[in-house]
């Protein structure tokens, strides 16, 4: 699908980061006039299991199942197999080449998104993990290039790296970007996110989908926030 062919009401994936399926479905009903793509993460999935996925897809909406599978390849492959025929559109996998390969072998019609570097990580976190200076941007590009060659449909990365991925890897992969905030495009600490961008900047940089949670779900007027972000997205696509 061409980047500009994605419907506007699918561009923002609302993160249903709630402790109960009841509250999650309340939010689905509240915003479904504007958003038709929803993220089910680990917290909600452990609470609602596949029932919450079924509840969302039965309303004609799409689901990104963000469980970040990470285990030995055989286990990850078997876990991904469980997602077949569940109506899930995207599933996230975190790991090295054999793990991604196992996920791709079992994906069926599912789109596998490889995690590159969590948006809660900064350069200092990279140094602590790898014991030397590692550029997040270089790490993300390397992981994205390998994921694409393995057969993943796309990657999850911050908007700060999306531009380089799009420039060097072209339109052959989906870029899904969390860490979307209403503020300026700069690397600052905002709740638990460090690498943040605006909706417009992320799309302009090459992102296809934006994962947004608290800026919408904690807003006094969530629909107004959604409409403002969608206006930024539309303007960036026109440009």
Question: Residues with catalytic annotation?
Answer: 68
Q: Please say whether the beta carbons of 122 and 162 come within 8 A.
A: no
Q: How far apart are CA 182 and CA 167, in angstroms?
A: 25
Q: How far apart are CA 200 and CA 186, in angstroms?
A: 14
End-to-end CA distance of the chain: 19
Cα–Cα distances (Å) from 114 to 36, 97, 118, 153, 174, in that order, read 22, 10, 11, 8, 10
């Amino acid at each position: 699908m061409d980047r500009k062919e994605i419907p506007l009401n699918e561009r923002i994936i609302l993160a249903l980061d709630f402790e109960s399926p009841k509250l999650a479905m309340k939010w689905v009903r509240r915003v479904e006039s504007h958003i038709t793509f929803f993220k089910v993460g680990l917290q909600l999935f452990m609470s609602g299991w596949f029932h919450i996925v079924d509840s969302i897809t039965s309303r004609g909406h799409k689901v990104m199942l963000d469980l970040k599978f990470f285990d030995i390849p055989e286990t990850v492959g078997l876990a991904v197999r469980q997602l077949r025929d569940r109506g899930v559109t995207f599933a996230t996998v975190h790991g090295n080449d054999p793990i991604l390969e196992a996920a791709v072998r079992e994906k069926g019609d599912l789109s596998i998104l490889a995690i590159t570097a969590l948006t809660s990580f900064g350069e200092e976190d990279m140094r602590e993990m790898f014991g030397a200076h590692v550029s997040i941007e270089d790490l993300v590009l390397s992981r994205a290039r390998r994921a694409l060659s393995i057969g993943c449909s796309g990657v999850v990365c911050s908007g700060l790296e999306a531009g380089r991925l799009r420039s060097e890897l072209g339109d052959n992969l989906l870029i899904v970007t969390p860490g979307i905030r209403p503020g300026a495009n700069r690397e600052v600490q905002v709740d638990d996110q460090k690498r943040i961008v605006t909706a417009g900047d992320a799309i302009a940089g090459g992102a296809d989908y934006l994962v947004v949670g608290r800026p919408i779900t904690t807003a006094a007027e969530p629909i107004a926030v959604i409409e403002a972000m969608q206006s930024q997205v539309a303007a960036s696509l026109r440009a």
